[in-house]
Amino acid sequence: MGTPHKTTARRFRISGRVQGVGYRYFVYHSAGQLQLRGYVMNLPDGDVEVYAIGDFAQLERLKEKLLQGPGMARVTHLDESAAPVDPDYTLFNIEGG
């Protein structure tokens, strides 16, 4: 017997070589495979922000993928924080430019 799948949300901020290397598309594809809701977007300072809604196991798998990134990326730091679940997100999107 496992614990029930409780929906939760996390915000991740990823630093390193994560812009201009296909990172957002990698996250978009990974989140889709994991059936998460939320978004990924580039930040003006060169970091990438990910907001994801799902259960604990899905979010942990996403975190592993965020640390890995696509081949050309180099992740140097990942910040993770709890976030409120926004019911307006029904899909996972790439936001911003």
Q: Which residues of 57-80 are buried (b: 16+ CB within 10 A; e: fewer)?
A: ebbeebbebbeebbeebebeebee
> Among the options 17, 24, 37, 74, which is catalytic?
24
78 touches 66 (CB < 8 A): yes
- Give rounded-to-5 percent helix, strand, coil for the chain: 25, 40, 35
Write out the two tokens for 96. Answer: 């911003």
> Among the options 11, 42, 74, 93, which is catalytic?
42
> For residue 14, what is the enclosing H or E element?
strand 8-17
For the stretch 68-96, pLDDT in tens is 999 999 999 999 999 999 999 999 999 98
pLDDT confidence of 1, banded at 50, 70, 90? very low
The residue to which tokens 């942990």 are assigned: 60
Quick check: is 93 catalytic? no
Average pLDDT over residues 57-78: 98
The percentage of the chain sitting over the pLDDT mark of 70, rounded to a whole number, equals 95
At 96 the pLDDT is 84
Q: Going from the N-terminus, what domains does the chain have, and what CATH number goes with each?
A: 12-85 (3.30.70.100)
Write out the two tokens for 30. Answer: 């990974």
User: What phi, psi does 64 have (nearest 5°)?
Assistant: -60, -45
Quick check: is 61 catalytic? no
